Structure 1
Amino acid sequence: MGRGRQKAKHTKIARELKSFSPSVNYAALERELASHDDDEYVDKWADQYDDEDEDEEDAALNSAMR
């Protein structure tokens, strides 16, 4: 088997990919992208851990009361 058969196969695949045009639901894509623009970063684990800032503030208040 020579280079000719391999090249022919690659040429066939390249032509198929060039003419391939998938159907896209642009309305659904626009809705999905628009919904992410309004969202800010939300940490899904935030409610499981105390904030470090609150710990420092509590420590400062406790030391000031003593």
Structure 2
Amino acid sequence: MTSGDRVLLCSDGLWEMLSDQEIAEVMGGYGSMRQIATQLVDRANHSGGHDNISVVVYEHHGRNTR
């Protein structure tokens, strides 16, 4: 991993409601990891939110491992 890389762990309640492109746009945006996670959940709820939505966003800081 390179410093600044982000990883998303989420339930189907998120990825069934948002396209890969929408998720990538939010993940590539600015803000804290909490703000990004909240934005993803809010968008999924706005798109229908038919299932439980769980989101964990991690941003790597530190030495590159590539």
Q: Which has the higher helix share?
A: 1
Instruction: Name the structure, 1 or 2, with higher relative contact order (CA <8 Å, separation 6+).
Output: 2
Q: Greater strand share, 1 or 2?
A: 2
Give the TM-score taking structure 2 as reference length. 0.26
TM-score under structure 1 normalisation? Answer: 0.26
